[in-house]
Amino acid sequence: MTPRKLHVDEALLPAGVASGVTISIGTDGRIAEVAVDDGAGTERIGGFAIPGMANVHSHAHQRAMAGLAERSGRDADSFWTWRDAMYRFALKMNPEEFQAVATQAYIEMAKAGYTAVGEFHYLHHQPDGRRYGNPAELALRCLAAAEESGLAITLLPALYMQGGFNLPPQPGQRRFINGIDGFLKLVSALPPRPLASYGIAFHSLRAVSIAALREVLAEVDAGPIHLHIAEQTKEVEDCLAAMGRRPVELLLESVALSGRWCLIHATHLTLTETSRLAEAASTVGLCPITEANLGDGIFPADAYRRQGGAFAIGTDSNIETSVAGELRMLEYSQRLRHHARNVLAGGPDRSTGRALYEAAAAGGATALAQPMGAIAPGCRADIVVLDPDHPALLGRHGEAVIDSFVFSGGNAAVRDVFVAGRNIVKDGRHIAEDAACDRFRRALASLAQRDP
């Protein structure tokens, strides 16, 4: 790309909020220099700049069913009844429809202020369970969707082997199931792409045995490792019954956690597990909107953060796509639990919005192994510019802008988004949104006419 210099009215830098900031971007799409000056000879874009956010946990295909599981059933509704509905929906989708849905999801992420996505990808096979000629067929569709949206992506193919602890797969899981050899072939078939990096995922300890997990880890010695864990109380109970250990306890006894690991949800923790995870080098990936939508429970974020634990955020089921919304829901869940306010601010006289945003940005960069998370030299030029003319931000300056974005303005306050210095959202509109939405509309119409 051509080098460029952007001048903003204010920016959140590692040392705090600064006024009159020039961000110099090199030909490699990374930030070469950040200076506080008058902006002579720059592109004056104004506004308030914050680092682009990492979305560490997405299931893109679930965007197609957002809002369609909100009608009560004959019996008590739960995560498990929702899962059955999701399985039925996932069984219908062909590769073209999947790509259309993923592209729409990624564009919505960009408009919310996400600049990289971690795609926890387990929809691998044809609707009847047969393998595609290329084992990475649907994974390649994720890459194509990210490329069109302009997002960076950390693709995380997920190993899914069994239907529960020591149980055979269910018919509804036939598109997900792989053996170890098939999974490793899929991983090895992923090509290099601009703004793409790769890791692996284990769907969960109920879907992958410890022995299989260790066997794969012996073969894949680089890249992030993501895992759903302790999301539901039933999952914890089933693990205790089958393995004699709680899920987090079992994982901690079985592998040495490192900075490569991102544990998704980890909702149901004992005090000891909370402390041990906070002390580990790993990150917890929280998806507060989905966790609320599915009735998962409330992560013990206050205790975890007080002990120095790292966290990141994700959109998971893509029921709603909002950086501000995830951070707000995280804080509000703690307020409801503790009957207090500004629980996660991290101390007296601190901006809660800034504390949440900076922690999630740093944790997300680590969890996705992406060079982002700060407006600083060496980081990729992933920059979100908030609109100072949005009613929620009028008259705000400094940290009050971040607080107002997180707790009031939300998506509508996002004006411009840059990924690697490329302006993919301008004045609130994504550069590819019209064509992508048209394909999304056609995909939904086709899916609605087709039985599972």
Q: How many residues does the chain have?
A: 452
CA pair distance 197, 190, nearest whole angstrom: 10
Q: E strand or H helix at 450, and its extent? A: none
Q: Which of 226, 265, 390, 430 is catalytic?
A: 265
Helices and strands, number each (H, E), in the chain: 14, 18
Q: CA nearest 126: which of 175, 161, 170, 159?
A: 175
* Letter string b/e over residues 105-114, b meaning 16 or more CB atoms within 10 A of that residue's CB: bbbbbbbbbb
Q: Which residues pair with 7 in a beta bridge?
A: 22, 44
3-state helix, strand, coil in the chain (%, to 5): 40, 20, 40
**326 neighbors 55 (Cβ within 8 angstroms):** no
CA pair distance 375, 353, nearest whole angstrom: 17
- The reply to whether 265 belongs to the active site is yes
CA pair distance 279, 46, nearest whole angstrom: 40
Q: CA nearest 372: which of 419, 417, 415, 405?
A: 419
Beta-strand pair 261-265/225-229 = parallel
Distance of CA 272 to the CA centre of its chain: 26
Which single residue is written with the structure tokens 């539901």?
Answer: 232
Q: Is 40 helix (H, G, I), strand (E, B) or coil?
A: coil
Q: Which of 316, 382, 387, 416 is catalytic?
A: 316
Amino acid of residue 448: A
Which single residue is written with the structure tokens 């796509």?
Answer: 321
Q: Which two tokens stand for residue 394?
A: 């009028």
- The reply to whether 128 belongs to the active site is no
**316 neighbors 293 (Cβ within 8 angstroms):** no
What positions carry a catalytic annotation? 265, 316
